[in-house]
Amino acid sequence: MASLCLLDTWNAMEGLSAYGQARGVGVSNFSSKKLQDLLSYAKVPPAVNQVECHPIWQQPALYNLTSSLTYYLIENSSFLSKDPVLNEIAEKLNKSTAQVCLHWGIQSAHSVLPKSVNESRIKENLSLFDWSIPPELFSKISGHHQQRLLRGDFVVHESLSPYKSVEELWDGEI
């Protein structure tokens, strides 16, 4: 059952949509279970779910759920410049590791939100559309060891949080 706070917040966001104050409403960091719970009472389904998603935390079950519901899973990733597998692939493609991560998201049909204030990185981020990751390298990324990098330990507490463990926070999707 959804918490009262979440229900009130969602009702307020639906109100904004109903009165034309917002074109759509979305969520962030919802696990498959939290998203399914929300869908059980939402009058307006969320248009997006912005989550940690990158080659090292691909979240295929969440992606399958959101794509089957015609929602977008927005990739919000930390770039993994120290990962040897991604560095090797970037070197083979003559691209940066950041470009490989971004293009992996695009090639996986995710909505990708790159962020930078550095002009050269912004230009690098824009040069993603005239190449692709070959199938054999894409398979190597798909088979990469999975690990959530943003665990959420800071919201877990025995008495001050509704979540007593990171497993509970992420509904076992950790």
Torsion of the alpha carbons at 45, 48, 50 and 52, rounded to the nearest 10 = 90
**What pLDDT shows up at residue 137?**
97
Residue type, 136: E
Quote the pTM value.
0.80
pLDDT tens per residue across all 174 residues of the chain:
445 567 778 888 888 888 888 888 888 888 999 988 888 888 888 888 888 888 988 988 888 887 766 556 565 555 677 889 999 999 999 999 989 999 998 998 888 888 888 899 889 888 989 999 999 999 999 999 998 888 888 989 988 888 899 998 888 887
CATH class of 4-169: alpha beta
Burial class (CB in 10 A: 0-12, 13-18, 19+), 53: buried
- Predicted confidence (pLDDT) per residue in 32-76, tens digit: 999 888 888 888 888 888 888 889 889 888 888 877 665 565 655
Q: Which of 169, 166, 65, 15 is nearest to 7 (CA)?
A: 15
- Which two three-digit tokens encode residue 157? 């507490």
Q: Where are the domains of the chain?
A: 4-169
